[in-house]
Structure 1
Amino acid sequence: MSAESTSVEGASPAPRRLGRYTLGTRVGEGGMGVVYRARPDGAPSDGSGDVAMKVLRPHIAHDPDARLRLAREVTTLSRVSSPRIAAVLDADTEGPAPYIVTEFVPGPPLDQVVADRGPVSGEALVRLGRGLSEALNAIHRAGIVHRDLKPGNVLMVGSDPVVIDFGIAQVADDVRLTMTGLVMGTPGYLSPEVVEGGAVTEATDWWGWAATLAFAASGQPPFGRGPMAVVLDRVIRGRTQLEEVDPALRPLLAAALDPEPDRRPHSDEVMRALELYAAHRPVTEALTMHAPRPRTEQAAPQTSLTPQAQQTRVQPVPPTPQTRVAPQQVPLTAPALSPDAASGPAPYGAPQAPYGGPGQDPYANPSPYDTPDRFGQPMRRPDPRIGRPMRSGTLATALVAVVGLAALVPLLAWGLLAIWSVLARTVDHSVTSLVLRRHEAGRRRSDVPLAVIASPWHLFVAVLSTGLAMLLPIAFALAATVITAGGLTAMGVASLGVEHPVPVAVGTALGTLMAWWGPGGLALRRGSRTLVRAVLPSQIASQIVATLLLVGGVALLAWMVLDGGEVSWWPTTWTDAPFSDLIPQTLRP
C-alpha cells in the first residue's frame, strides 16, 4: 500500500491517504500516535460518515513493540460492543504507516470540557458516573481491563461519555504488561498496582472511574499536580486531594481510590453509593464489606475474568454506526438534585449514622459490625480519619512559630520539632493499628487494652523512624543556612554569618518542609493532624491557637532580625541564653 504525504493543519507531515481513507484535521495525539478525522472512500461530503484514524508516529512506526501494541488495541476493541465505547472499524498494523480506525465521536474530551465550563455537578455528574460505569461493565464482560481511564480518554457527546484509547488495555488472558504501560500512562490516573507493576483487576478500572469522577467534580487532579515522581508517590500512598469535591460524594471516591485493591468497594457497591448520592442519602450506607472474591477474580496475571477467547482471531461484533449524532447540549453544571430524585435500591445493610464528625470520637459510634451485609459478612467502615478536618491552617501557623523560635534558639526549636515528630508518629502508628484491627475483626472490648500494651512498641518505632527521617531535613537545613548566608553576602544585600537569624530561619523553614513532605513524612502528617484534631476539636479553638502561633512566630522573627544579633545555641551554653538575666543565679550551671 502506498502512502501519499502532505501537511495537515498544525501537524507534522503525515500521509494524506491511508488505504481507502483521506485524512483531515488532527483531533488528538498521544505518546504513540496522532489521531485524525478521516473520510472513507464513498462517504458523504457532509462529514456524517467520517471516522477517527489513529496513526503511529513516524519515528516509532517501524518499532515491532509499537506495532504489537497497536495490534493489541485492535484485538481489545474488537471484543467490546457498547454505545459507551468507540467501536473499532478497520485497522492495518502491517503497512508502512500502521493505523487503527474507530468510529468518530463528535465531542470534546472531558478535561477540555471541565477547563472550558468548570466542574461538573448535580445530575450531570451522576449521569457521567453512570455512563462510565456502563462502559466499564461492557469492557469487563469482554474480559478486558482498560487500565488507563482518565479525563483525556473520555469524550463527551452532550452529557454522555464515550470511552476511547485502549492503548495499554490488558486482556485478562494475556501476559501482563509491565513498566511500558507506566511510560504511556498519565501520572495521577494510573492506579497504584499499575504504577508498581502489580496484578491488575477490574478494581483497577473502578479506581480510574473514581479518579476521573473526582476530576470532573472538582476541576483538579485527584492527586494534585507536580513532578511525576511526586504525583506517583501520592498515588502509591493514597494521598488524595479531594477538598474541592462535594463532601457528600467524597467518602465514595476516597474509598474507591484506596491504594489497596482488596479494600476498594465492588462495582455494585460503587454504583449503589452513586445512586444514594443522587437521592441525597449518605453514600456510606453502601460502602460495606464484600464477600471474598472467587479465586478466578484474584487477578493472577494469566487468569481470565471471562471464558478465554481465541487469541488468533478477532471476535465479530454487531455493526456499529460510524458516526454519533451530538444531541442538544445539556449544561454540565446542573441545579442541585431534588430530595425526591430517583433513588437506587435499598442499601445492603441497615442505614448507618455518619461517623468521625468534628468534635466527635471517631470510635464512639455503635459498632458497624453489628449488622451483616447481604453476603453475611460483617459490615466495615473506612478509616475514621478520612474526611475529617485537615487543620492545615493551624499546622501552617505552627511552622511559622517554629521558624520564629529557630531565629532565637534554633536547637530548642529543632528539639521541640523532634519531640512533636515522635508524638505524631506514635499516635499515627497506634491509630492505624487500631483501624486495621477493627477492620479485620470488628469492634472488641480488648481494643483499648491492646492499644495500651502496644504503645511502648509504637513509641519505639516512632523514635527510630523519627531519628532516621530527621537526618535528611537537618542536613538540608544546614545546607540551606550556609547557602542563604553566602548568597546574601555575595550579592551585597547584607554581610551575614551562618549564625544570623535570617539564614537560620530560612534553613529551618526549608528543613521543616523537607521533614513534612520528604521520606517518612506520611506518618508525621497523619499523626500531626490527628493530634491537632484531638487537642483542638472545635474550629474556634483552632483559630485562636493558630492566631497566637502566627503572631508569636512573626514577632520573634521580626525582633531577632531588627536586633541584628546572633542566635543563641542554648542549651549547649548559658552565656548567651535568651533572657538569661531573668534566670536566678542558683539555677545556672
Structure 2
Amino acid sequence: MQQAATVGGYTLLAKIGEGGMGVVHLARRPDGERVALKVLRPHIVGDEEARHRLAREVSSLTRVRSRWVAEILDADPWAVVPYVATRYVPGLSLHDHVVEEGPIGGADLTWFAAGLAEGLAAVHGAGVLHRDVKPSNVLMEGRSPILIDFGLARVADDPKLTHTGWLLGTPGYLAPEILYGDDATTASDVHSWAATVAYAGTGHPPFGRGPSMAVMDRVRRGEHDVSGLPGDLARVVEAALDPEPERRPTVEELLAWLRPQVGRGRSVPPPVRDAPAAEPTLPVMLAHPDPDDHVTRPFETLVDAGPDEDPTVHDWDVAEYAAPRAPAGERLRRVVLGGAAALVVGAAVAAYPWLTSALLVVAVWLLRSGSLAASRAGDRRRLRGRRWYDGVQVLLGAPLDLVRSIPGTVLLLLWSAGLAVAAALLCYAVAAGVETTLFVSGSVLAAALVAGPGGSRVRSPLSRVVVPTARQGRGWIAGMVVLAVLGCGLGALVQTAGTSWAPAGERPFSDVSLPDAGILSP
C-alpha cells in the first residue's frame, strides 16, 4: 500500500483548494487533529519573494485570534517545503454554498453579515488588513462565516507589497480605490464585506459578471445591483459599496447596527450617510482581461509607494458573541409540548403496555439509525459537496446504519427501562393502581428515551416537529389540542375497557395483589 505524503510532520489526506501562491490540503497532525495545510507551489518554492510573502502571511495570521477566522496553528516559511497550518473548517465556501443551496435569507443572512463583520473587526483589531474578502475566502461552518486565506493580508504599518504595477485580488470584490492604485485601508475591506454579503443574499455578484474591464468599470462607478436584499440591510450594503471610502460606514458602525439585529446590544439606526454619488471616471485597463481573474495581473498604471492608514477598529471581544437563543416563551412552549407528548405516551402504555413498548423500541431504533445516516451524509457533503448519488448512497448504507445504531439503542433502552421500573416501584410503594403505575412508568420511559445517553439522536429528529410547532402560539395551541384529544381518548379507553395486555393473555405478575385504582380515579 502506498504511503501517504507528509509535509512538516503532517499527513496529507486530500487536496481541498488552491490559490495563486499555494495549494491547500486537508492534513492530519501527529496527534490526530485535522488541519488545513497550505504549501507553496513546487515551481515557486525556490522563489525568495514567494517565501517572504508566506512569511508575511504567517506574521499577519499570528496576530489574529477570533472564532470568525481560521486561526494559524503552525507554520514554517523557510522549510524545504514551506507550509502554514490553520484551523480546518469542515464546510463549503460561501460561493459553493450559494451554488448548492441558493442565496442565504432571513435571520441567517443577518447572522452571516454580523459574523463576517466580527471577523473583520478581529482582523483590523490585530492591525491587519485582509485585502481579499470574497465568497471563495469565506467558509460556512453551519450558518456561520469563517474568514480564510490571508495570502494578501499585510500588517497595517508595513510598507506596501512591492508588486508595483500588479493587481492583487478579484475584480468585483476589490474596492475602487485599489483599482485606482491607492493603498488599501479598513474601508477597502468594508467594501469587500458589502460585496460578499450582497452575493450571499442575492446569489449573484453585485457588480455583475463579464470581462474584468467591464466589472472594474462598474465597481469604480458604483453601479451595483443588490435587489433581493431585505430592507435596512440593503441600504447598509449600498452605503458600504460607495465608491468614496470616506462615505462608507466603518466596521464599528456596522457592528453597532448589526449586533442588536442578532440579539446583542441596543438598537441604533442604520449607518447610512446621505451624500451625492461620485462622478463617473475612466476605467482602469487590464493587459489581459479575464472574467475569472483571481491572481496577479499586470496593471497599466503604476502604483505609488506609501504607508497604509492606521486601522481605526477596536479589538472586539467576539467570544461573547453567542448564537441567538429562542425567546423564553418559545422555549417554555417546547418544554410543555414535550411534556404533554410524554404524558400521551404514558396513557398509551396504560392502555396497551406491550404494543406501545414494542413501538417505542422500534421508533427509537429507527430514529437513531436515521440520525446516524444523516450525520454521515452531512459529513460527506461538507467534505466534497453535494452529489447526485447522495440519496442512493444513504439508501445503500441504511442496513449498516441500522446495525451501527443497535449498541447505542440497547444502552439507551436499558437506561430508560431502569428509570421506568424505579418509577413503578415507587407507585407500588404508595399502593397505586395498575393503570396509574403504567401511566407514570410510561411517561418516565418516554422522557428518559429523549434525555438519556444517546438520546440526542432521538431529540434531533423529533425537534424537526417540536420546534416549528412551538415557534408560533397558534401552532403550539393546535399541537396541544391534538395531544389533549389523544391523551383524553386513551384515558377514557382505560377507564371503560381497562388495560389490554395483547398479545399476551394477562398482565405479568398477575398473582401479585395491587389495588384496582384507575388512572383517572378521584
TM-score (norm 2): 0.51
Tell me whether 1:94 sits opposite 2:78 in the alignment: yes
Of Structure 1 and Structure 2, which has the larger fraction of its residues in helix?
2
Separation in 2 of the partners of 1:215 and 1:302? 28
Tell me whether 1:36 sits opposite 2:42 in the alignment: no
Instruction: Provide the identity percentage.
Output: 46
Separation in 2 of the partners of 1:181 and 1:138? 30
Task: Report the counterpart of residue 6 of structure 2 in structure 1.
Answer: 17
Separation in 2 of the partners of 1:172 and 1:27? 30
In structure 2, the CA distance between the partners of 1:85 and 1:285, relative to structure 1 (3 Å rule), is closer
Which residues of 2 match residues 19-418 of structure 1 at below 5 A? Answer: 19-41=8-30, 43-44=31-32, 49-177=33-161, 183-274=167-258, 285-288=270-273, 301-305=307-311
Separation in 1 of the partners of 2:139 and 2:146? 5
Match of 1:89, SS? strand
Separation in 2 of the partners of 1:89 and 1:20? 13
Separation in 1 of the partners of 2:20 and 2:221? 27
Q: Whose relative contact order is higher, 1 or 2, with alpha carbons under 8 Å and at least 6 apart?
A: 2
CA-CA distance at 1:142 after TM superposition:
0.7
In structure 2, the CA distance between the partners of 1:216 and 1:30, relative to structure 1 (3 Å rule), is same
Task: Report the counterpart of residue 416 of structure 1 in structure 2.
Answer: none
Separation in 1 of the partners of 2:225 and 2:41? 35
Separation in 1 of the partners of 2:269 and 2:211? 33
Separation in 1 of the partners of 2:252 and 2:123? 15
Separation in 1 of the partners of 2:270 and 2:87? 40
One-letter code aligned to 1:139: V
Separation in 1 of the partners of 2:268 and 2:100? 29
Separation in 1 of the partners of 2:260 and 2:23? 41
Cα-to-partner distance string for 1:166-206 (whole Å, 9 max, x where unaligned): 11112111012365796441111111122222132211111
One-letter code aligned to 2:12: L
One-letter code aligned to 2:103: P
Structure 1, unmatched stretches of 5+, are 1-5, 9-15, 291-298, 308-317, 319-324, 340-589
Separation in 1 of the partners of 2:312 and 2:260? 30
Separation in 2 of the partners of 1:181 and 1:21? 37
In structure 2, the CA distance between the partners of 1:139 and 1:278, relative to structure 1 (3 Å rule), is closer
Match of 1:249, SS? helix
RMSD: 3.7
- Mean CA deviation greater in 267-276 or 105-114: 267-276
Cα-to-partner distance string for 1:394-421 (whole Å, 9 max, x where unaligned): xxxxxxxxxxxxxxxxxxxxxxxxxxxx
Separation in 2 of the partners of 1:223 and 1:289? 22
Q: Number of paired residues?
A: 293
Task: Report the counterpart of residue 506 of structure 2 in structure 1.
Answer: none
In structure 2, the CA distance between the partners of 1:82 and 1:122, relative to structure 1 (3 Å rule), is same
One-letter code aligned to 1:62: G
Separation in 1 of the partners of 2:206 and 2:311? 28
Separation in 2 of the partners of 1:125 and 1:179? 36
Which residues of 2 match residues 504-523 of structure 1 at below 5 A? Answer: none
CA-CA distance at 1:64 after TM superposition:
1.7
In structure 2, the CA distance between the partners of 1:203 and 1:93, relative to structure 1 (3 Å rule), is same
CA-CA distance at 1:124 after TM superposition:
0.4
Match of 1:22, SS? strand
Match of 1:139, SS? helix
In structure 2, the CA distance between the partners of 1:79 and 1:268, relative to structure 1 (3 Å rule), is closer
Separation in 2 of the partners of 1:160 and 1:219? 17
CA-CA distance at 1:232 after TM superposition:
1.1
Cα-to-partner distance string for 1:492-532 (whole Å, 9 max, x where unaligned): xxxxxxxxxxxxxxxxxxxxxxxxxxxxxxxxxxxxxxxxx
In structure 2, the CA distance between the partners of 1:302 and 1:207, relative to structure 1 (3 Å rule), is closer
Decide whether the 8 Å contact of 1:178 with 1:197 is kept in 2: no
In structure 2, the CA distance between the partners of 1:287 and 1:7, relative to structure 1 (3 Å rule), is farther
In structure 2, the CA distance between the partners of 1:306 and 1:202, relative to structure 1 (3 Å rule), is closer
Structure 2, unmatched stretches of 5+, are 276-304, 314-318, 320-378, 383-455, 473-522
TM-score (norm 1): 0.45
